[in-house]
Structure 1
């Protein structure tokens, strides 16, 4: 009996030991952002997760396995059942493709769920672990997981948006402009499902890596397998502007006052307008770059997002 009990206690430890050691860059956090911003904006406060009433959550759900590496997501969804399924949002954190984690997107996911959305904050492989296009394979696998598990969470599989911040915004835009691109699908699970998304929310993420307004350098190079001169193909392919066209969904851009974080935005709007695809732009004045992580800027960021998603998926005019 004691041997059986011992083995049962040991099994979780053995499972954890089998997980690979993943290199981490922990330099980009909510707290480090707060400390950096506060000297110039003494009124700021950190945005903290608070689970609203009527919202259920499940955390650290494995959604994809790469070798012996499990990738996880957190899901937030309305507790009450609805006769109509809820639209979904995949939330992709920022951190220069090298740092950050899914917890950064939890407050936004919680508030979206409180307003009738199935919201998923996703972990993906960062540049210290795997270069491009691994992260894109991961987020597309996460969309497929959402569709495969739609019945459990009351998700409408025809209405899924990709939302991202900074480098996550770049990824959300690339995800939304490459619907059906087989190179970026990967083999992360549920491959019989579609990874297409029907809308994009890009929060201060660039649309083109090689662009007069872009200042991307070493951070992008770590992810894209070298500098532009060393690997121009990846720099072009990873730019949403390269792919934007008739298969792109309605797109919302929310920007700080720094123009280099929306490099390629105006050209992308022009491309989408030729196909009569709706776009919306909001620039929040006098804002540092990771404004969405801090009060008082979280609230307008969320409200712009909710209004856009309601207009896109529920035909509610803001």
Structure 2
């Protein structure tokens, strides 16, 4: 691992990445790894197991940090993840990365951000680095059904849905789904009582209706954290990435 790589300096937080590299000369397909923590905590080290798994299977992985709510409300987290992707592309030569084969992998808040980076960049900015695939675990994908007066997400979105309706739409990956979205692999615990499984199911269904390759893997009997460490979900996600990024060509 190449730890603590500087991505960017923010006013009160330094954004960094830990880079995990596979054996060989490359060029390697790469994965932008985004940790969870309800947008308010967590650490990129929480994703070390998944990052090592991918590196051992031929992928370069950059596990990134980002600013937290409530000190920084949305879209700060999205901006930081985009900065991480830009940094990864800019350092492709250093880490022997094939910039035509970059995906993202996240869990919980990280899964949400991975989907959001993919959907919004495909929607709005054809010149931005484009993710070719996403793996999203336990990802909340639609905030537009949140009760209007609920303050459950105000720490992240700056107020209730009645107060900040635009933020709730903008932060919902499903709101940005178009035929330009990359393929997405969803995995979710059937007993997840933090993020309802239906949150990801509706986005999976919308992608499927547009003909975008998508898989929904259900981690039977597992809860929110349990899906993160489900070895079968991890293996199926790897198969999906291999299929989308044509690993055999590296």
Q: TM-score, normalised by structure 1?
A: 0.71
Structure 2: distance between partners of 1:102 and 1:126: 13
Q: Aligned partners of 2:201, 2:218: CA distance in 1, in Å?
A: 13
The answer as to 2:170 corresponding to 1:228 is no
Aligned counterpart, 2:188: 255
Deviations 1:42-87 (A, max 9, x none): xxxxxxxxxxxxxxx11111101223642111000113213xx211
**Would you say the 8 A contact 2:8–2:15 is kept in 1?**
yes
Q: Which residue does 2:240 correspond to in 1?
A: 308
Q: 2:137 aligns with which of 203, 211, 219?
A: 203
In 1, Cα distance between equivalents of 2:216 and 2:70: 33
**Gaps spanning 5+ residues in structure 2: where?**
none
Given the alignment of the two structures, is residue 285 of structure 1 paired with residue 220 of structure 2, yes or no? yes
Q: Counterpart of 1:229 in 2: which secondary structure?
A: coil
Contact 1:98 1:219 in 2 (8 A): no
SS of residue paired to 1:179: helix
SS in 2 for 1:135: helix
Q: How far does residue 174 in structure 1 lie from its aligned partner after superposition?
A: 0.7
Question: 1:13-52 residue pairs with structure 2 within 5 A?
Answer: none
Where structure 1 has 5 or more consecutive residues not aligned to the other structure, the ranges are 1-56, 186-192
Q: Are the structure 2 counterparts of residues 267 and 276 from structure 1 closer, same or farther at C-alpha, using a change threshold of 3 Å? A: same
Greater CA drift, 219-228 or 261-270? 261-270
Q: Kindly indicate whether the alpha-carbon contact (under 8 Å) linking 2:17 and 2:65 is maintained by their aligned counterparts in 1.
A: yes
Provide, for residues 121-168 of structure 1, a one-character-per-residue CA deviation record: whole Å limited to 9, x for no partner.
Answer: 110001033110001000000000010000111111111111111111
Q: Does 1:104 align with 2:37?
A: no
Q: Is residue 166–residue 261 contact of structure 1 (8 Å, CA) maintained in 2?
A: no
Larger radius of gyration between Structure 1 and Structure 2: 1
- What is the rounded CA distance, in whole Å, between the counterparts of 1:94 and 1:69 in structure 2? 17
SS of 2:21's partner is: strand
TM-score, normalisation: structure 2: 0.89
Say what the alpha-carbon RMSD is for the aligned residues.
Answer: 2.2
Post-superposition offset of 1:292: 4.1
| Cα separation, partners in 2 of 1:181 and 1:136, compared to 1, 3 Å | farther
**Are 2:100 and 1:167 aligned?**
no
* Equivalent position to 1:269, from 187, 190, 204: 204
Give the SS at the match of 1:104. Answer: helix
Q: What's the CA shift for 1:251?
A: 0.6
8 Å contact 2:29–2:247 — kept in the other structure? no
1:180-201 Cα deviation digits (max 9, x unpaired)? 566xx9xxxxxxx733211111
